[in-house]
Each structure stands twice: as structure tokens, then as C-alpha cells.
């Protein structure tokens, strides 16, 4: 007769071998993300049977220090992700600058695939990869940030049978990202950052039923693009969808409509949500206004200088009038840029 006492010691309440990797928790954050991730890591269970993959939007030139911060913040060790590493339970893997953090066959993939919403690493790319690889064993967590990053990725995880969690908007330094995910109806649970760890402990005890999932050609194509190189041509841009009539802010190529809910990609794979595309257009307009302001300032100064070198007369009046007009236009543009800067400060960077 088998020793049932020993067997119970070797398995947990859900029937899995103790210490075995049961799935992956994919975590995405943007503005205010360091604070949210620190709070999140502080109460993760020390025996969490998941690997934790973290993508924080950061500039390509940013120093890779987040793993060290999270390693000191809670009970689980945190390391910078390395290409090809086999994932382990009870460990946090942090995306490095200028690389997408993806997974394939329970190993980490660091990719130079096209940026998504202007970022590499990208939250949606991580979530999509985890969804396709693990299905119902995937958990997605959306933390503090601006715009709608993570919404498409959370939808992908739910579509493949996984579970999604959002930080309570009132708990986040920048609430737009979790709020947009909640508003899109792609979130199963919501909690303060410090309460997500205990929630994961509860979810870890569930018995998950295997589900047969139909292939998702669009999701698989987008994952293939993210897995590719920076300038990969291994996919057919025309297969992405119909032309949108918009231009990619990254490369000025034509954007195709990938999903009906304002998802776009260009021929070389740069991905944009509608919110991120609007933000990129705002940035372009602001840059154009700054250029116009500088040009007007130079025009006013040059006109004044030229007026000072000649005697009063029609030419003097023309230079003076040109300077006056340029200075009036400078005033209008300066007020517009001041409002734009104030609004950006209120809503946070991305």
C-alpha cells in the first residue's frame, strides 16, 4: 500500500509537486512603476510556485538597477533576465533595457523585436508571449502607469484562459494604466500593490482544469514579430490587416489595423495602441511648436537688429512690423506650450 502521508508531503493542495514551477506571473508597469513594484515584491510569498517576470517601461540607455531594488524589497530573489535561462519558481526575472522579455518552452527570451508603443521592453509583448506559451497557467498583473499599456496583453492572457490582476487605481501613483485595463473589462481581480502577493498565494492553491484552446493566428503573428530581430523581415506586413491611413511615429511607415479596438502595426512591426498613437502625435505637435517658437524668436531678434542699422523709413517700418508680429506669435505659442507642459506634469511621463 502506498504511503499516503509521504505522498501528501510531496504535493500541495492542488496536486502539484512541491517546489515545482506551476506557471508564470507576468507584471507590467510604467510611470510610478518602481514604487508599485517595490510594494508588490515586499509581500510576495516566499514559497510562491510561480516565476515572476517583470517588464518596466524604461529608456534604452537606462541603467539596469531594478533587479537589485526588488531583490532587497522582499523574500524572493530578483535577477536581471538573461537570454535562454530556464525559469524557476520563487524567483523574479526583470527585463533589461532595450530588450523585450518573452518566453518560449519555459525559457527566457531577450529580443530586439520592434518597439511597442515606443518601448522595448514592452508590457503587451511580455503578456502576449506568456499567454501563448502557458494559457491557463499565466497570470498577468497591471501596475501603475499612464495610457493603456497592458490592456491588449491582459486581454490576450484572459483569452487563453489565464488570470489577470490590476493594482487599485487609487493605490497607484499613476492610475491610468490599471484604470484603462479595468475599464476595458479584461481584469479578474484588483488589489493594492502590497495585497497582490497574498492574492497570488490564494490563486496558487486553485486546481486548474486543462482547456483546449483554438489557435490564434493574429496573436501568434504578433508574438513572432516580437521574437524577431530589430529589422526582421520574416513576416508579411500586408497580413497584419488593412491600411489605417495613419503613419508610424517611429519609422513613418504605413500603419495597418491589427485589431478593431485601435491596435496598429507598421510594415516593420512597430506596434501602437490608439492611446499611445495619440500621445505620439501630441509629442510631434509639441516638438513642431518648439521649433516654431525658436524660429520666431530668431526672426524677431534679426528684424530688430536690421531695423537698428538703418534710418527711419519704409524699410525700417517693415523690419519693425516683422519683429512685432513675430513677438506676438511668440507670446501665443509660449502660452500654448506652458499649458502643454503643465498638463504633462499633471499626468506624468511615460
List the domain boundaries for the chain: 4-204, 276-347
* C-alpha to C-alpha distance for 290 and 287, rounded to whole angstroms: 5
Q: 9-13, 196-200, 250-254, 266-270: which has the minimum mean pLDDT?
A: 9-13
Confidence of residue 324 (pLDDT cuts 50, 70, 90): very high
The predicted model gives 212-240 an average pLDDT of: 81
* Residue 188: active-site member: no
More confident residue, 279 or 55: 55
* DSSP H helical ranges for the chain: 4-10, 33-42, 66-71, 123-134, 151-159, 176-183, 193-204, 217-227, 274-308, 314-347
Give the burial class of 24: count Cβ atoms within 10 A of its Cβ; 0-12 exposed, 13-18 middle, 19 or more buried: buried
Q: Is 14 helix (H, G, I), strand (E, B) or coil?
A: coil
Of 98, 148, 149, 171, the catalytic one is: 149
- What pLDDT is attached to residue 143? 98
* C-alpha to C-alpha distance for 219 and 234, rounded to whole angstroms: 16
pLDDT at 210 over 90: no
Of 16, 57, 136, 350, the catalytic one is: 57
Characterize the bridge pairing of strands 138-142 and 23-29: parallel
Q: 177-181, 231-235, 335-339: which has the minimum mean pLDDT?
A: 231-235
* Residue 282: active-site member: no
Q: Is the entire prediction scored with pTM above 0.75?
A: yes
Rg over CA atoms, the chain? 25
Half-sphere exposure of 308 (CA within 13 A, CB side): 7
The predicted model gives 98-104 an average pLDDT of: 96
Q: Computed from CA positions of residues 162, 67, 90, 45, in that sequence, does the dihedral angle turn out positive or negative?
A: negative
Confidence of residue 338 (pLDDT cuts 50, 70, 90): confident
* Residue 149: active-site member: yes
- What pLDDT is attached to residue 285? 84
Express each pLDDT in 59-85 by its tens digit.
Answer: 888 888 999 999 999 999 999 999 999
- When the candidates are 3.40.50.2300, 3.40.50.1820, 3.30.750.210, 3.40.50.180, the CATH number that belongs to 4-204 is 3.40.50.180
Mean pLDDT in the chain? 88
- What pLDDT is attached to residue 239? 74
* C-alpha to C-alpha distance for 187 and 303, rounded to whole angstroms: 59
- What pLDDT is attached to residue 4? 40
Of 16, 30, 144, 244, the catalytic one is: 30
Confidence of residue 287 (pLDDT cuts 50, 70, 90): confident
More confident residue, 293 or 132: 132
Express each pLDDT in 140-154 by its tens digit.
Answer: 999 999 999 999 999
The predicted model gives 181-209 an average pLDDT of: 94
Amino acid at each position: 500500500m502506498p504511503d499516503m502521508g509521504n505522498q501528501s508531503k510531496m504535493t500541495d493542495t492542488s496536486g502539484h509537486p512541491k517546489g515545482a514551477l506551476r506557471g508564470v506571473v507576468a507584471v507590467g508597469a510604467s510611470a510610478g512603476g518602481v514604487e508599485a513594484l517595490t510594494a508588490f515584491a515586499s509581500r510576495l510569498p516566499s514559497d510562491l510556485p510561480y516565476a515572476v517576470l517583470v517588464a518596466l517601461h524604461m529608456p534604452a540607455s537606462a541603467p539596469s538597477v531594478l533587479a537589485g531594488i526588488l531583490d532587497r524589497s522582499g523574500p524572493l530573489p530578483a535577477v536581471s533576465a538573461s537570454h535562454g535561462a530556464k525559469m524557476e519558481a520563487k524567483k523574479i526575472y526583470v527585463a533589461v533595457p532595450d530588450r523585450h522579455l518573452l518566453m518560449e518552452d519555459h525559457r527566457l527570451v531577450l529580443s530586439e523585436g520592434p518597439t511597442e508603443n515606443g518601448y522595448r521592453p514592452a508590457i503587451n509583448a511580455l503578456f502576449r508571449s506568456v499567454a501563448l506559451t502557458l494559457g491557463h497557467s499565466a497570470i498577468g498583473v497591471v501596475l501603475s502607469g499612464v495610457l493603456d499599456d497592458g490592456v491588449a496583453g491582459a486581454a490576450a492572457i484572459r483569452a487563453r484562459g489565464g488570470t489577470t490582476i490590476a493594482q487599485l487605481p487609487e493605490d497607484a501613483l499613476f492610475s491610468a494604466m490599471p484604470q484603462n485595463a479595468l475599464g476595458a473589462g479584461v481584469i479578474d481581480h484588483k488589489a493594492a500593490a502590497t495585497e497582490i502577493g497574498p492574492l497570488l498565494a490564494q490563486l496558487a492553491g486553485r486546481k486548474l482544469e486543462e482547456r483546449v484552446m483554438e489557435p490564434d493566428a493574429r496573436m501568434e503573428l504578433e508574438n513572432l514579430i516580437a521574437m524577431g530581430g530589430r529589422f526582421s523581415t520574416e513576416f508579411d506586413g500586408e497580413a497584419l490587416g488593412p491600411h489605417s491611413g495613419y503613419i508610424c511615429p517611429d519609422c513613418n511607415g504605413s500603419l495597418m489595423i491589427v485589431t478593431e479596438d485601435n491596435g496598429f502595426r507598421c510594415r516593420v512591426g512597430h506596434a501602437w495602441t490608439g492611446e499611445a498613437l495619440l500621445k505620439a502625435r501630441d509629442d510631434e505637435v509639441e516638438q513642431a511648436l518648439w521649433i516654431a517658437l525658436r524660429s520666431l524668436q530668431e526672426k524677431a531678434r534679426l528684424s530688430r537688429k536690421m531695423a537698428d542699422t538703418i534710418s527711419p523709413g519704409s524699410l525700417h517700418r517693415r523690419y519693425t512690423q516683422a519683429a512685432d508680429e513675430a513677438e506676438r506669435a511668440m507670446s501665443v505659442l509660449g502660452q500654448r506650450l506652458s499649458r502643454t507642459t503643465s498638463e504633462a506634469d499633471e499626468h506624468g511621463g511615460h
